[in-house]
Homo-oligomer: A and B are copies of this chain.
């Protein structure tokens, strides 16, 4: 039987080689001031020679922290998340934290499973950026004393967690107002699942914009969709079937808008000549020359960065940290998928 971990050089080996006690070796290694220069040199030398690497596992156990944070996203393959994850990983790494990635698929049991595991594993904090109905599971973390930062969702019940979110309602209101100003009057909305607050907020923005222009809200024009490309494509069919005179569509996010775009193109509709289409998020693909989606920009890099800042503060100062709600601006980005409505009725 060979030792479990490679050559398994422990601090005991270093201490022996340096001819000191384990305590002294530890102090020398961790840079404790009360160590004579000579002893320190010997210990460091021994450590070098042996290729000693301290077990963070053991350190974590005694120090009570792992310098690890957990990140829950709905689905890293959904193009909304990579930029956010990158920003989080970047910022976390600057503070010496490493990040564990978990895909919840917005499935509450999965979410629970991960949360449980992360807590048991001893993560120092959790960033929760998925939107499933798992809010109650989050309290597990708080109970266990693990600070939580919630990104991109507005908690319904949870207090004492930090929140970083865009102003979804205002952003939605702005872009729908833009459509109205272009002259559109029959504007469909592909809304997201009801459980996600961001959807409700964007829907509220949509309604608000109509209201301000004195246009009655028509529930027929709102169709619910999941957060996927395919669902967006389906939703648009449904919408156009319900109301063929729709001249513009506001999709709950870009991924859904892109799905809708596919379906519209497939139907032979020209965007924006025959129908306008706008989204929300401004993910990378939306900017590409072949897409040029008019949308609302969420600053995901900033969201990730601020989320980490809040979490770091919460982890470093558990006693004094005050959870905050940070609301980011989200403004319209004009591109090529929204224009004045054509007078021409749709083909067929």
Task: Give A contacts to B, CB under 8 Å.
Answer: 4-7, 53-58, 60-61, 64, 66, 68, 71, 75-79, 81-83, 85-86, 89-90, 93, 98-103, 114, 116-122, 143-146, 258, 261-262, 265-266, 284-285, 288-291
Residue of B whose beta carbon sits closest to that of A57: B122
Given A5-B145, A6-B144, A79 and B79 touching (CB < 8 A)? yes
Q: Is the CB of A288 within 8 A of B289?
A: no
Compute how far the CA of A60 lies from the CA of B57 in the bound complex, rounded to whole angstroms.
8
Compute how far the CA of A258 lies from the CA of B289 in the bound complex, rounded to whole angstroms.
9
Report B-chain residues with C-beta under 8 Å of the C-beta of A61: 55, 57-58, 61
Contacts A55-B122, A76-B89, A100-B100 supplied; 6 other A-B pairs, CB < 8 Å:
A4-B145, A54-B120, A56-B117, A68-B100, A77-B86, A98-B100
Report B-chain residues with C-beta under 8 Å of the C-beta of A261: 289-290
Q: Which of B98, B122, B284 contacts A117 (CB 8 A)?
A: B98
Residue of B whose beta carbon sits closest to that of A5: B145
Q: Which of B75, B101, B144, B285 contacts A288 (CB 8 A)?
A: B285
8 A-B contacts (beta carbon < 8 Å):
A6-B144, A55-B122, A75-B86, A79-B79, A81-B82, A90-B103, A98-B117, A265-B289
Report B-chain residues with C-beta under 8 Å of the C-beta of A89: 76, 101-103
Compute how far the CA of A100 lies from the CA of B79 in the bound complex, rounded to whole angstroms.
20
Compute how far the CA of A141 lies from the CA of B76 in the bound complex, rounded to whole angstroms.
27
Report B-chain residues with C-beta under 8 Å of the C-beta of A101: 71, 85, 89, 99-101
Report B-chain residues with C-beta under 8 Å of the C-beta of A82: 76-79, 81-82
Q: Is the CB of B288 within 8 A of A258?
A: yes
Report B-chain residues with C-beta under 8 Å of the C-beta of A258: 288
Report B-chain residues with C-beta under 8 Å of the C-beta of A71: 101
Report B-chain residues with C-beta under 8 Å of the C-beta of A100: 68, 98-101
